[in-house]
Amino acid sequence: MSFEFENFKLRRLIIHEIFQRDLDRKAKEPIYGNAYTSLTQDGESIFKERFVNAMGSNSHSIEMSIEKTEENSLFRTICDMMHASDNVFIKDSKHVAKRLVEAQVSRKIPGGIVVIFSGTVGRNNYNYCGIIKAEVHAGFMKVFDRDKGLAIEFISNLLLTPQQKLYKIGVFICKKNSGEEITQDDLLAFVYDHNMTAMETRQVAIYFYETFLGCNISPTDKKLTQDFYYNTKRFIDEADIDDEQKVDLHSGLYSYLKTDTGGTIKVSEFANRYFENEELRQKYQVFMRDKKMPGRAISKDLTYLKNKLKRRSMFFTSNVKISGPAERFPELVKITEQNENQTVVTITGKIKTQE
């Protein structure tokens, strides 16, 4: 079963500020926080909400594989931080902020606040260590003025609002609770970065997940994409809905995987986009969970489905089969009428060859 971000508890939180590179592209020294920030109960609850909305089940976060584990890698620092004393954690967190500055080589990448936090998560209370890079934006605050009554006040340094595009999160979870040495296999890595959700912006995300975090798209995502296709197909075939709806859903599955430009796929996203009602969505979700499909996003990788998605076919009870190029299938093959015994199909084109 995939890891669930339930039972999230926050223990330590510290922030540092990093800056965009100068015109000469030299890195600027961060401004470091030297002590932990303690949030009010409400503040902590909103922080938890932001985190789970970005990382939890149904979110766009992606499980990654950890690639860089050598001596000076971020991985080593994170391992150190999992069981570090308060002082060591603060020192290490500064090191982490510094590494992010180094990874941001392009002048296009903005500065922001680096939030480094730790605590426990999951039913087994695993230790985690998380890093948020939050861009600062502007907004307004309601104020009450004795003379004027209600008014608004400008704020130039807002962060961690519900606007998810403005932050990236990396989190490492340690499955080993004892203080023994942590290996690569003991850590899970998850990343949320809005830029990863669309194919064309993937490149922009690399500095964060690869250069900085030392992670990469997990090789299992090829397999998961394939599983997603076959399981969803099976669900549609077996669902208690009429055939017309099934045809639409098969077309939907094809376009979700093949023509949609999204860089990730997600059970809840497919459900919300293509199923008509809550009952069906619910059944689909339970079905996919039983098939061990993760609730969060999977990086879309069609390697194993290339051939499968080239052509679409339809089989009739009379053993007649129609097949055609998948991307134009709905437009080339139109079903206009259907009952128990016959189907009226209009096919664009005329007979070329026969066997």
Partner 1 sequence: MNETEFLNRFHQDKPMLKAWGNYVTDMIKSSLEMEYPDLYSKMLQIPPAARLKTDDSIIQKAFYRGKNYEDPYDCITDKVGTRFVVLTENDVSLVAGIVEQRDHWSYSRDRDYEDERSKNPLLFTYQSIHFILRNRENVFYKGITIPDNTPCEVQIRTLLQHAYCELSHDLIYKPGVGASPQVQRLMARSMALIETTDDMFIKALNEMKQTERPLGAFATGLRSLYSDKLGKLNYEYKLNSIILDSYKPITDALDIEEIRNFYNDTNNEFILEQIKEKNRELFFRQPVALLLYYLVKNREYLVKSYWPITDMILRKIFIDLGIAFDN
- Contact positions vs partner 1 (CB under 8 A): 4-8, 45, 48-49, 52-60, 121-123, 125, 162, 268, 271, 278-279, 281-282, 285-286, 295
Q: How far is the CB of 45 from partner 1 (least distance, A)?
A: 7
In the bound state with partner 1, the residue whose beta carbon lies nearer, of 1 and 150, is 1
Residue 273 structure tokens: 């986009």
In the bound state with partner 1, the residue whose beta carbon lies nearer, of 6 and 244, is 6
Q: How far is the CB of 296 from partner 1 (least distance, A)?
A: 8
Q: How far is CA 42 from CA 48, 115, 125, in A?
A: 10, 18, 22
CA dihedral (143, 148, 150, 154) in degrees, to 10, reads -40
In the bound state with partner 1, the residue whose beta carbon lies nearer, of 93 and 195, is 195
**Encoded amino acid at 84, one letter:** A
221: left (phi over 0), alpha (psi -120 to 50) or beta: alpha
In the bound state with partner 1, the residue whose beta carbon lies nearer, of 86 and 276, is 276
Exposed/middle/buried for residue 165 (C-beta within 10 Å: 0-12, 13-18, 19+): exposed
Q: How far is the CB of 129 from partner 1 (least distance, A)?
A: 17
CA dihedral (89, 93, 99, 104) in degrees, to 10, reads 160
Q: How far is the CB of 61 from partner 1 (least distance, A)?
A: 9
Q: How far is the CB of 6 from partner 1 (least distance, A)?
A: 4
Q: How far is the CB of 271 from partner 1 (least distance, A)?
A: 7
In the bound state with partner 1, the residue whose beta carbon lies nearer, of 4 and 248, is 4
Tell me how far apart the alpha carbons of residues 228 and 251 are, in angstroms, rounded to a whole number: 15
321 three-state secondary structure: strand
In the bound state with partner 1, the residue whose beta carbon lies nearer, of 48 and 258, is 48
